[in-house]
Amino acid sequence: MATAGQELEPPSTDLITLTRHILSQQQALGEAASGDLTLLLIGIQVTSKYIASNVRKARLINLVGLAGASNVQGEDQKKLDVLSNDIMVNALRASGKVSVMVSEEIDEAILVSGSNGTYCVVFDPLDGSSNIDAGVNVGTIFGVYKVRPGSKGTIEDVLRPGSEMVAAGYTMYGSSCNLVLSTGQGVDGFTLDESLGEFILTHGDIKIPPRGKIYSFNEGNSMHFYPPVISYLESIKYPKDGKPYSARYIGSMVADVHRTLLYGGIFGYPDDKKSKDGKLRMLYEAFPMAFLTEQAGGVATTGSQRILDVVPTSIHGRCPVFLGSKEDVEDVKRHYAEYKGEKRW
Ligand code: AHM
Ligand code: MG
């Protein structure tokens, strides 16, 4: 810790920007010839800056509150949901690299006519937006698939398991704006330096601690939970030895997962007696976060199956989610295994 009179470290003279980082990974991705994924990710980076700027000013420029419409899930759309969606769709369309888009805010997949783009992007433009009017962290989540060989881009190109994604990430709009990205070569985190207008590498090669001390569930749903979840939660709140886990639940997946990646522990949104597949959407919430979790050395499961192996049958389908530190998530899997075969309700 710096004390009075002590000199502080001078600032770095060798900043690794997100653009520099993506370009340096191009070679390893076999992308050097086209650079298409690079251009696509740089496009997503720009949308993140623009959404961040609007989120930050929302209260000042009349962007809080409802837009007066609802999405395919029947949820009220906020003005910022709609704006963020339009920013993403327009930027991705303009990139020329995308032939299929799926957004949480749009009922049907967008097939970009006339595009020779070889990528598909699935995204939640502003996740956790119920928190937005209180100034709580929200974020954009995205996953990228390459279109299948010979395909011109159809819905089948995104109805594929998350293990086939070539990149995934999120941007968190909070006390700082952080973009966390994986192209399958580990996970790196960047912080937006607003004075430079650049994302700077601040969290290189993120690895989730093998065990954490925090659990992050909406326990308000406990009366609907199935026995494996109830018994798991009991085991960490009333341990036979050691200290009980601390509860932290923001209700914005991006923020809860970000903390889990950095500090360890477990984030869970199970299926239950009320929601047969849980709440979180497979393509643009569960898969990208599971991809990042695994790349950071953690585990992501539905309780009985690896999330990245689930095959989606609809673009807005949901699945249960438990992700985080390897040992914590293995504990959940054990509780599920113990109840296997039992009638659950
Ligand atoms: P949204 O896509 O409508 O914002 O909903 C997803 C959010 C996640 O960010 C968060 O993990 C979850 O919903 C919280 O749900 P709940 O309020 O039921 O705890
Ligand atoms: Mg969402």
Place of tokens 């330096």: 193
- Spell 203-241 as b/e; 16+ CB within 10 A means b: eeebebbeebbbbbbeeebeeebbebbebbbebbeeeee
- The DSSP string of 99-168 is EEEEETT-SSPEE-TT----EEEEEEEEETGGGGGGT--EEEEEEEEEPPTT----GGGTSS-GGG-SEE
Whether 165 contacts 295, CB under 8 Å: no
pLDDT of residue 177: 96
pLDDT of residue 132: 84
HEC assignment per residue over 217-228? CCHHHHHHCCHH
The reply to whether the predicted model has a pTM over 0.75 is: yes
**How far does the chain reach from its first CA to its final CA, in angstroms?**
55
Tokens of 293: 């979790």
Whether 278 contacts 320, CB under 8 Å: yes
pLDDT of residue 116: 86
- Ligand 1 pocket: which of 133, 252, 256 to mutate (most atoms within 8 A of CB): 252
Among candidates 122, 95, 119, which has minimal Cα distance to 39? 95
pLDDT of residue 68: 65
Among candidates 340, 294, 297, which has minimal Cα distance to 321? 294
Spell out which residues line ligand 1, taking CB within 6 angstroms.
75, 104, 124, 127-130, 218, 251-253, 256, 269, 279
pLDDT digits (tens, 9 = 90+) for 291-307: 999 999 999 999 999 99
User: What is the atom index within ligand 1 of the atom nearest the CA of 129?
Assistant: 4
Spans of the chain, pLDDT less than 70 = 1-3, 5, 30-33, 65-76, 341-345
Tokens of 233: 């939660």
pLDDT of residue 345: 44
Distance 277 CA to ligand 1 centre (A): 14
Alpha helices in the chain (DSSP H): 18-26, 36-57, 79-95, 227-237, 253-263, 287-295, 326-338
- Ligand 1 pocket: which of 81, 106, 280, 284 to mutate (most atoms within 8 A of CB): 280
CB-count burial class (<10 Å; 0-12, 13-18, 19+) for 193: middle
